[in-house]
């Protein structure tokens, strides 16, 4: 079955990405539908010539980077926005690199043609110097001159998107398990875990069980981007769902079939990193020059110890970075940046390691020390023999045998299930012989109250 294209808009800050998205939404979606629900889902649909187009509308489109880090190709078409009065800027190049790495077709929107100082020809020349050769200017990249403010050229840009979609021959299988990507997630005090996603294949239905690598649930409520409750949705529809027992991370792929999800996961970048026994790392820096310096350091360290950069971006560390690190089991390395207080609290609760420094040589030294420690550290193991009662609020009471010890109260652990890391957690209380203890020795049996992001079952191992 034919499906609509999913579009992401990228480019330098202040070049008009948000203005373009706002103009498209406000002129094609009823005003009552353009508010909070669109923001909650992180995407919306429009219609052009009786055909639908889905736009990803997450702030800064950070979700696009996270999805690529998870091995997901969420967007079918990218629009590279370049302002005609400023031309190519550092973030333009960064956005272009992300588009090329994602291997998706793209169009160029030369924006702000209504402004004094706009120079379309110079913009074309600057793009050509960065190997972006536009149609009519020595290449085959489609482009459109626009004003996101007045709307001039925007209908023609939408037509180019549909033409690109036709060339791509986008399709889905209505009988396949429903699958796609999580693009937003947050906790509502009244409604619980609320997740925005985009459906890529199959048909999503109310009542279906739904799975991601780190979360699961049953769809209690399914809403389209207008906020209307529906029984089912077809690709490439954005949706808001309630029913996840625990919070999935932005960028996680979902499926209504856990077996299908396992096949998807094996193809992901993260799975590749694990197969190569590489340490996953997320890079953050205050500006592009600093990020380049940090990448250089990682490149030097990589000659001795395998590292895998799963994401890199400019800016401080925020909660979304922690969520990505949690789902990909990555270290965060930051150069000349700060860590947001909420992000720091989440990192502590989820045992996410963050290394930062304003001095590049000091950061390099810390990274080498961290890698060396984790490379030689022996794992201590508790084999789970029994689970007592039901899991509630991510907490469980479990019992097991310390295979390699000792293990200590309040320690963090990873959950190993059939040789795969299935989640992370922390001991809240440790008992041995029905007495509270600070540690349990090797070969002893212990009871634990734990908090974890995945359910613990008999037979799994906790690695410390």
pTM assigned to the model: 0.59
Give the separation between CA 180 and CA 198, rounded to whole angstroms.
6
- pLDDT confidence of residue 60: 44
Residue 3 Cα distances to 18, 113, 206, angstroms:
25, 33, 21
Query: By mean pLDDT, which of 16-20, 154-158, 363-367 is the weakest?
Result: 16-20
Give the separation between CA 410 and CA 408, rounded to whole angstroms.
6
Radius of gyration, alpha carbons of the chain: 24
Contact between 234 and 218 under an 8 Å Cβ cutoff? The reply is no
Give the separation between CA 433 and CA 194, rounded to whole angstroms.
42
- pLDDT confidence of residue 61: 45
pLDDT over 90 at 87, yes or no: yes
- Contacts of 40 by beta carbon, 8 Å cutoff, 6+ apart: 184, 186, 194, 196, 240
Give the separation between CA 10 and CA 12, rounded to whole angstroms.
7
Strands 354-357 and 192-201 turn out to be: unpaired
Within 13 A of 89's CA, how many CA atoms are on the CB side? 16
Sign, CA torsion 282/188/61/59: negative
- Contacts of 217 by beta carbon, 8 Å cutoff, 6+ apart: 193, 209, 210, 243, 244, 245, 246
Give the separation between CA 261 and CA 95, rounded to whole angstroms.
29
> Domains in the chain, please, with CATH?
6-168 (3.40.50.300), 179-259 (2.40.30.10), 269-376 (3.40.50.10050), 381-463 (2.40.30.10)
Instruction: Tell the residue number behind the tokens 């990909």, with chain if given.
Output: 328
Contact between 360 and 311 under an 8 Å Cβ cutoff? The reply is no
| pLDDT classification of 71: cutoffs 50, 70, 90 | very low
Please, what is the Cα angle at 198 between 243 and 110, to 5 degrees? 145
Query: By mean pLDDT, which of 203-217, 224-238, 255-269, 283-297 is the weakest?
Result: 255-269
pLDDT over 90 at 247, yes or no: no
Share of the chain above pLDDT 70, in %: 88
- pLDDT confidence of residue 457: 92
Q: What is the 3-state secondary structure (H, E, C) of the chain?
A: CECCCEEEEEECCCCCHHHHHHHHHHHHCCHHHCCHHHHHHCEEEEEECCEEEEEECCHHHHHHHHHHHCCCCCCCEEEEEEECCCCCCHHHHHHHHHHHHHCCCEEEEEECCCCCCCCHHHHHHHHHHCCCCEECCCECECEEECCCCCCCCHHHHHHHHHHHHHHHCCECCCCCCCEEEEEEEEEECCCEEEEEEEEEECCEECCCEEECCCCEEEEEEEECCCCCECCEECCCCEEEEEEECCCCCCCCEEECCHHHHHHHHHCCHHHHHHHCCCEEEEEEECCHHHHHHHHHHHHHHHCCCCEEEEEEEECCECHHHHHHHHHHCCEEEEECCCECHHHHHHHHHCCCCEEEECCHHHHHHHHHHHHHHHHHCCCCEEEEEEEEEEEECCEEEEEEEEEECCEECCCEEEEEECCEEEEEEEEEEEEECCEECCEECCCCEEEEEEEECCCCCCCCEEEC
280 is written with which tokens?
């996953």
pLDDT digits (tens, 9 = 90+) for 172-196: 999 999 999 888 888 788 888 889 9
Query: By mean pLDDT, which of 72-76, 166-170, 274-278, 323-327 is the weakest?
Result: 274-278
Contact between 388 and 399 under an 8 Å Cβ cutoff? The reply is yes
Mean of per-residue pLDDT scores for the chain: 85
Listed residue (74, 69, 47, 46) closest to 58, CA to CA:
74
pLDDT digits (tens, 9 = 90+) for 197-244: 999 999 999 999 999 877 889 999 999 988 899 999 999 999 999 999
- pLDDT confidence of residue 204: 96
pLDDT over 90 at 319, yes or no: no
pLDDT over 50 at 32, yes or no: no
């Amino acid at each position: 079955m034919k499906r609509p294209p999913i579009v992401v808009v990228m480019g330098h800050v202040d070049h008009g990405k948000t203005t373009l998205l706002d103009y498209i939404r406000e002129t094609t979606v009823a005003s009552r539908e353009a508010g909070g629900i669109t923001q909650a889902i992180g995407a919306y649909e429009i219609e052009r010539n009786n055909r639908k187009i889905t736009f990803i509308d997450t702030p800064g489109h950070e979700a696009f980077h996270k999805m690529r880090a998870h091995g997901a190709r969420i967007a079918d078409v990218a629009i590279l926005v370049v302002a005609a009065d400023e031309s190519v800027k550092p973030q333009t190049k960064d956005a272009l690199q992300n588009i090329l790495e994602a291997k998706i077709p793209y169009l160029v929107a030369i924006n702000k043609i209504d402004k004094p100082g706009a120079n379309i020809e110079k913009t074309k020349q600057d793009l050509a110097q960065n190997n972006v050769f536009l149609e009519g200017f020595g290449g085959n990249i489609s482009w459109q001159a626009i004003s996101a403010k007045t709307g001039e050229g925007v209908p023609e840009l939408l037509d180019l998107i549909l033409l690109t979609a036709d060339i791509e021959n986008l399709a889905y299988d209505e009988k396949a398990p429903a699958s796609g990507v999580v693009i937003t997630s947050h906790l509502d005090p009244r409604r619980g875990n609320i997740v925005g996603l985009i459906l890529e294949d199959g048909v999503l239905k109310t009542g279906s069980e739904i799975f991601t690598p780190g979360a699961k649930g049953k769809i209690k409520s399914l809403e389209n981007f207008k906020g209307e409750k529906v029984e089912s949705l077809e690709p490439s529809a954005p949706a808001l769902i309630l029913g996840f027992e625990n919070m999935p991370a932005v960028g996680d792929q979902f499926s209504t079939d856990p077996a299908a999800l396992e096949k998807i996961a094996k193809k992901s970048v993260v799975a590749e990193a694990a197969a190569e026994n590489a340490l996953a790392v997320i890079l953050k820096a205050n500006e592009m020059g600093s990020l380049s310096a940090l990448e250089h350091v990682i490149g030097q360290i990589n000659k001795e110890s395998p590292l895998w950069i799963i994401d890199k971006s400019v800016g401080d560390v925020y909660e979304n970075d922690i969520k990505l690190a949690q789902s990909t089991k990555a270290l965060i390395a930051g150069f000349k940046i700060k860590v947001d207080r909420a992000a720091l609290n989440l990192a502590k609760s989820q045992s996410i390691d963050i290394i930062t420094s304003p001095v590049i040589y000091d950061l390099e030294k810390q990274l080498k020390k961290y890698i060396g420690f984790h490379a030689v550290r022996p794992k201590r193991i508790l084999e789970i023999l029994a689970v007592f009662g039901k899991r509630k609020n991510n907490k469980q009471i479990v019992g097991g045998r310390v295979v390699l010890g000792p293990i200590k109260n309040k320690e963090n652990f990873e959950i190993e299930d059939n040789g795969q890391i299935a989640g992370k957690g922390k001991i809240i209380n440790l008992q041995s012989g029905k007495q509270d203890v600070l540690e349990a020795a090797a070969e002893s049996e212990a009871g634990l109250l734990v908090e974890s992001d995945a359910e613990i079952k008999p037979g799994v191992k906790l690695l410390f």
